[in-house]
Structure 1
Amino acid sequence: MKETIKMDRIEDAIADFKEGKFVIVVDDEDRENEGDLIIAAEKITPEKVNFMLKHARGVLCAPVTVSRCKELDLPHQVSDNTSVLGTPFTVTIDKLEGCTTGVSASDRAATIQALADPTSTPATFGRPGHINPLYAQE
């Protein structure tokens, strides 16, 4: 007997995302065939960062559009990306003002929120850091 998995409607997932709830996005079977736990950056909290680090146990990434990466002067992490999937990471960052080491859930949440803040500038962030921005498609 084949196991079936119930998937929510896209509209429901978008509504949950807008409300600041976690959503699991599953990618193609021919790529990583995994689920990514996502949340809107402006809705992130230290508690939600802690949950992601404790339960999802993957790399904590923050997708950022290519145009925003250019505005924030976030270059690719390496000039010759030879990783199997070519994941387009930028340099790692931490928010400077109001943060300490950058590694705490509070500091990571503040950095992610700052990435979503349209008033942030390149001077908002220190490099290297503990958040992994990721070039997102426009």
Structure 2
Amino acid sequence: MTKIFEAVTSLREGNFVLIHDDDNREDEVDMVISSSHITPEHVSTMRKDAGGLICTAVSKEISTKLGLPFIYDVLNIFGTANKTISLINQNSSPYGDKPSFSITLNHVNTYTGITDNDRALTISSLANICSELDTDTDLVDQQRIIEKFQTSFRTPGHVPILIASKGLLNERKGHTEMSIFLTKIANMTNVTTICEMLDSHNYKALSYKDAVDYSKEKNLVIIEAKELIAYAKSYGN
């Protein structure tokens, strides 16, 4: 409970939280931050200190309102006319989960989309739209926000979007779900930016031990999946 409270507080204050998933799953540590607080400096830190793929995760509810699909489903439809895509799309991850990837985005005011400034603009703009959707708006306002989303971004882009399972940790126990669950219990907009931490010495995922050392050096909270899963059961998720 103490660790979860510390993680929630860090997210609210715009700081990174490190999340380690199960040893029998990916066994990876992700850097996580609320997308509502993202800055170019945060993107730079994730790029240099973590080194994995910088993605933005949204709740299933938000993705439904915005009309964002799982890329798996898009490719499944396309696969009816393309045998290669059909066959590749049937291959699953070693731990059995379907990928949470949706489309990739760039904000229309970005140039290449890959710079720290460009990615921060894309992520923060998406977070603002998600925040607007979170407010108590009528159908007319909701449609206006959705149209704003449709005209503010282009795809493909340089920010991969991830969609959390509707049942969060009851359904899937990935970093996508864990990070969105944290925003849920923090009463924040359900949108996070996450990045796997890699080891440039052995070219593998950063070990939990080294991630703990990093968290101490940077004064960051690190939390394990089992702690979040246990809390989710008591929380009713």
Is residue 14 from structure 1 mapped to residue 17 from structure 2 by the alignment? no
TM-score (norm 2): 0.51
Separation (CA, whole Å) in 2 of partners of 1:75 and 1:93:
13
Higher mean C-alpha deviation, range 83-92 or range 99-108: 83-92
Separation (CA, whole Å) in 2 of partners of 1:58 and 1:12:
24
Question: Cα RMSD (Å) of the superposition?
Answer: 1.7
Q: Which has the higher contact order (CA 8 A, sep 6+)?
A: 2
Is residue 134 from structure 1 mapped to residue 146 from structure 2 by the alignment? no
Of 18, 22, 30 in structure 2, the residue corresponding to residue 24 of structure 1 is 18
Of 50, 60, 70 in structure 1, the residue corresponding to residue 64 of structure 2 is 70
Residues 83 and 104 (structure 1 numbering): CA distance in 2 closer, same or farther, change over 3 Å? farther
Higher-Rg structure is 2
Give 1:38's aligned residue. Answer: 32
Separation (CA, whole Å) in 1 of partners of 2:10 and 2:124:
18
Superposition map of 1:58-97 within 5 A = 58-79=52-73, 80=76, 81=89, 82-84=91-93, 85-96=97-108
TM-score (norm 1): 0.85
* Unaligned stretches of 5+ residues in structure 1: 1-7
**Which runs of structure 1 show a deviation greater than 3 angstroms over 4 or more consecutive aligned residues?**
80-83
How many residue pairs get aligned? The number is: 130
Q: Percent identity?
A: 35
* Unaligned stretches of 5+ residues in structure 2: 77-88, 133-144, 167-237
Q: Which amino acid aligns with 1:70?
A: T
Q: Which amino acid aligns with 1:128?
A: P
Is residue 50 from structure 1 mapped to residue 44 from structure 2 by the alignment? yes
- Contact kept? 1:94, 1:126, Cα under 8 Å: yes
Superposition map of 1:91-130 within 5 A = 91-96=103-108, 98-117=109-128, 118=132, 119=145, 120-130=148-158
